[in-house]
Amino acid sequence: MTISFHPDIATLMSFSAGTLDEPYAVVISTHLAMCEACREQVKRTNLIGGALLSLEPATEMSAGSLDRFMSRLDDAEPVQPKQQSKPGVPAPLAAYLPDGIDAVHWKFSGPGVAIADLPTSRNASGRLMLLRVAGGRKVPEHSHGGQELTLILKGAYRDRFGVFAAGDIADHDEDVEHQPIAEPGEDCICLVAVDAKLSFRSRLVRTLQPLFGI
Amino acid sequence: MMLRLGVETGTAEDLAQETMLNVWRKAHLYSAEKGAASTWIFTIARNLRIDHIRRQSSRPYVDLDDVEIESDAPLGSAVVEQSQIVARVAKALDVLPPEQREVVRLSFIMEMPQSEIAERTGIPLGTVKSRLRLAYDRLRPLLEDLH
């Protein structure tokens, strides 16, 4: 898989630090499953965490802590690596798509456009969803209420930044406006994390936004 | 690290214990080629903290280490001594410009999202991001010694 578009290094650092909101962390994990270069990159950003940890002053544990720890060790079983895979679904996404991508319930969201929300934990503040755009169709021009991460799972789209195909990720700030158009041919399916409702430019679309739920 | 979560001492200690317990239970999965031990322990502690935050959820944070992705990356041919790299990175972190070092530390140790760093320090979100990028650029030559 040739991947041309990768996340911002600042996003990967926050992923390493563990401070990304769940929907964003899921998009990045899924990209990592598809992108060798970024897996290498995250090994490096993790190293920053390890190095910082070694610089932090130690804190005393409370009395009896070591005894409790030693007794827990006696009962500890070795952990085996988990293997979770679904045909056609990258492993990190499998927990969010238990029945695979074909079983997704799509909601109409404009001509040729459909979305499906994926459930996240209660503490997530952003929104995780799948976006499906039929070949040749436009996603209405929009700016972002906050950071938007879009990972292409299938098909491709084009906007002013170039052509985004499977494995590519678009990491956009709130001030970016763009109008993706799915490339002719198969549906373009993307995994999207947003932290606020997308704001669409045209008044008509803005009026319809609450109806379509995007 | 756990103490700085803003959680009470008891919880931080539980998480620290849980971390060491996991290190013990996963020790057979650890290999030195994968990285320095301190980095590995950092990721275990981080994942446990995230699980703790999301504890109402039945969906755990995806742990890439557990997924065991097939990799065709060269296995660090000239594996520089990993602990030496950590020591060098730690040194480099120590001499980062203070404003860069601060956002990196708030991120990795205080575990603040970028938006919270912006709020707490009163600097714009865009500046938080660019300081993280600048810090990475400074550390990059050392980090790329990994291979």
Distance separating alpha carbons of residues B131 and B133, to the nearest angstrom: 5
SS3 state of residue A106 = coil
- Is the ipTM higher than 0.90? The answer is no
Question: Contacts of residue A193 in chain B, CB cutoff 8 Å?
Answer: none
Tens place of pLDDT for every residue, chain B, 147 residues? 554 544 455 667 777 777 777 777 776 666 666 667 777 778 888 888 777 766 544 333 444 444 444 343 434 433 445 667 778 888 889 889 999 999 999 999 888 999 999 999 999 999 999 999 999 999 988 887 654
Q: Average pLDDT of chain A?
A: 83
Is there a contact between B35 and A47 if contact means CB atoms under 8 Å apart? yes
Look at the block and give the residue holding tokens 């790329």.
Answer: B144
**Whether residue B126 is found in the same domain as residue B61:** no
**Whether residue B88 is found in the same domain as residue B106:** yes
Interface with chain B: mutation pick from A44, A67, A172, highest number of B CBs within 10 Å: A44
State which amino acid sits at residue A161.
F
**Whether residue B89 is found in the same domain as residue B65:** no
**Whether residue B80 is found in the same domain as residue B30:** no
Residue B80 is part of which domain span?
Answer: 74-147
End-to-end CA, chain A: 30
State whether residue A26 sits within 8 Å of chain B by CB: yes
Backbone angles phi, psi at B60, to 5 degrees: -75, 155
pTM above 0.90, yes or no: no
Q: Find all residues with CB under 8 Å of B80, minimum gap 6, and list them.
A: B145, B146
Q: How many helices (H) and strands (E) does chain B have?
A: 7, 0
CATH number at residue B136: 1.10.10.10
DSSP state of B141: H
Domains in chain B, number: 2
Distance from CA of A101 to the nearest CA of B (A): 18
Distance separating alpha carbons of residues B86 and B126, to the nearest angstrom: 29
**Whether residue B106 is found in the same domain as residue B58:** no
C-beta neighbour count of A66 within 10 angstroms: 11
Domain stops at, among B42, B72, B102: B72
C-beta neighbour count of A39 within 10 angstroms: 16
**Whether residue B114 is found in the same domain as residue B80:** yes
Please list the residues that pair with A199 across neighbouring strands. A143
**Whether residue B107 is found in the same domain as residue B96:** yes
Distance separating alpha carbons of residues B131 and B103, to the nearest angstrom: 7
Distance separating alpha carbons of residues A56 and B139, to the nearest angstrom: 18
Rg (CA), chain A: 20
The residue of chain B with its CA nearest to that of A93 is B62
Tokens of A148: 């938007």
Does the pLDDT at position A17 exceed 70? yes
> Per-residue pLDDT tens for A77-135?
666 555 555 667 888 898 888 888 888 999 988 889 999 999 888 778 888 999 999 99
Tokens of B77: 């041919």
DSSP state of A199: E
**Whether residue B65 is found in the same domain as residue B94:** no
Nearest CA-CA partner of A38 in A146, A174, A151: A151
Architecture of domain A1-56+90-214: Sandwich (2.60)
**Whether residue B138 is found in the same domain as residue B100:** yes
Residues 72-131 of B with CB under 8 A from A: 72-73, 85-87, 89-90, 93-94, 104-105, 107-109, 111-114, 126, 128-130
Distance separating alpha carbons of residues A44 and A38, to the nearest angstrom: 10
Domain boundaries, chain A: 1-56+90-214
